[in-house]
């Protein structure tokens, strides 16, 4: 399992208006795509978002997703905030 750091790149994108989490997250998943999917599923996204607007955690223009090879936390399938607290839907 790998740990990925997801950082907002462009907080001005409209998709950020619908995301509950807006700051850096760490996700534990096998691949960057799965790390993004996991972060998006746990970060919360407003149900009233316009059609076609996707979670910024899935969008490479909105967030980076970089491996953190020295980290051993969070646990597989977990997403955490900078303060170490878990992100749960």
The pTM is what? 0.92
SS3 32: helix
Q: pLDDT (tens digit, 9 = 90+) per residue, 25-64?
A: 999 999 999 999 999 999 999 989 999 999 999 999 999 9
Q: Residue 88's pLDDT is what?
A: 86
What integer pLDDT is reported at residue 1 of this predicted model? 87
User: Domain boundaries in the chain?
Assistant: 2-81
Other C-beta atoms lying within 10 Å of the C-beta of residue 17: 14
Residue 41 main-chain phi, psi, to 5 deg: -70, -25
What's the CA gap between 77 and 75, in Å, rounded? 6
Sheet holding 79-81, edge to edge: 63-67, 2-8, 25-29, 79-81
Question: In this structure, what token pair is assigned to residue 89?
Answer: 């839907």
């Amino acid at each position: 399992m790998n740990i990925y750091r997801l950082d907002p790149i462009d907080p001005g994108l409209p998709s950020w208006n619908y995301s509950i989490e807006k700051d850096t997250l760490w996700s534990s998943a096998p691949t960057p795509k799965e790390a993004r999917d996991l972060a998006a599923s746990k970060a919360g996204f407003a149900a009233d978002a316009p059609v076609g607007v996707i979670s910024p955690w899935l969008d490479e223009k909105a967030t980076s997703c970089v491996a953190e090879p020295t980290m051993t936390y969070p646990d597989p399938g977990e997403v955490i905030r900078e303060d170490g607290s878990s992100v749960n839907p």
